[in-house]
Amino acid sequence: MIAIPAVDLREGACVQLVGGDYSDERVRLADPVSVAREWVRYGFRRLHVVDLDAATGRGSNRDVVHEILREIPVEVQIGGGVRSTTAIDELVGAGACAVALGTRAFEDADWLGRVANAYPNEIIVAADVRDRRVVTHGWTRTLPREIIDVTEELSALPLAGLLVTAVHREGRMQGTDLFLMEDVVEAASFPVYASGGIASVADLRALADRGVAAAIVGMALYTGAIDPWQAAEEFAE
């Protein structure tokens, strides 16, 4: 399993939110590109960059995203508000190793099928999950389908992976939702990425033991709860 630092962008800064709540911002760093460089210095081999403003229709951090893609010498996967084929083209052309699709992926199955086949193994479906149901539009709308059903429906597509974020655990550092992740791994035919609530190296090991391919780590790295040197070395592939 590989550990991947999260670089969440809001108003040009790198932030960390608690529980998917935009009113509960616990970390704000003014220079996201420097933050990304620092994670590379620790030895991480991939970064997960999300434009939170684009995801919620509040704005865009496009320039910062492109600067990270241009300046950072490791694989970078990008998500947040990507809802058009043109946007995918732009990000892949700019050097993104993968593009994470959220809201539109769940609202337009035909489009998802087209782009997944046009970009095999370059599309990650990002499922934000609360109470086992997918939430979209920056965690403001809840879909009627449960994540296990969604996972099975996606099984025919050549995806790079399915990113499952336990929004109810996000940023709280109270442990990840192991039962949720284990069930998704069992249902999935592609790599599963886990996010939300990861608080310790023990959490990372527990996810690895359950077959998770990658873990997106945010608050625990930014607060020092997880030693970045250890995480980068132990969870490198």
Q: How many domains does the chain have?
A: 1
pLDDT of 143: 78
Q: For residue range 1-24, list pLDDT tens digits in order.
A: 999 999 999 999 999 987 666 777
pTM of the model: 0.94
Q: For residue range 132-189, list pLDDT tens digits in order.
A: 989 876 666 777 889 999 999 999 999 999 999 988 665 566 788 899 999 999 999 9
Q: For residue range 35-78, list pLDDT tens digits in order.
A: 999 999 999 999 999 999 998 889 999 999 999 999 999 999 99
- Average pLDDT, stretch 105-110? 94
What CATH number is given to the structural domain containing 17?
A: 3.20.20.70
Helix, strand, coil: what percent of the chain each, to 5? 35, 30, 35
pLDDT of 142: 76
Q: What is the dihedral of CA 108, 123, 73, 31, to 10 degrees?
A: 30
For residues 3 and 233, give the distance between their C-alpha atoms in angstroms, rounded to a whole number.
Answer: 9
Range of the domain at 31: 2-234
Which residue numbers are catalytic? Answer: 8, 128
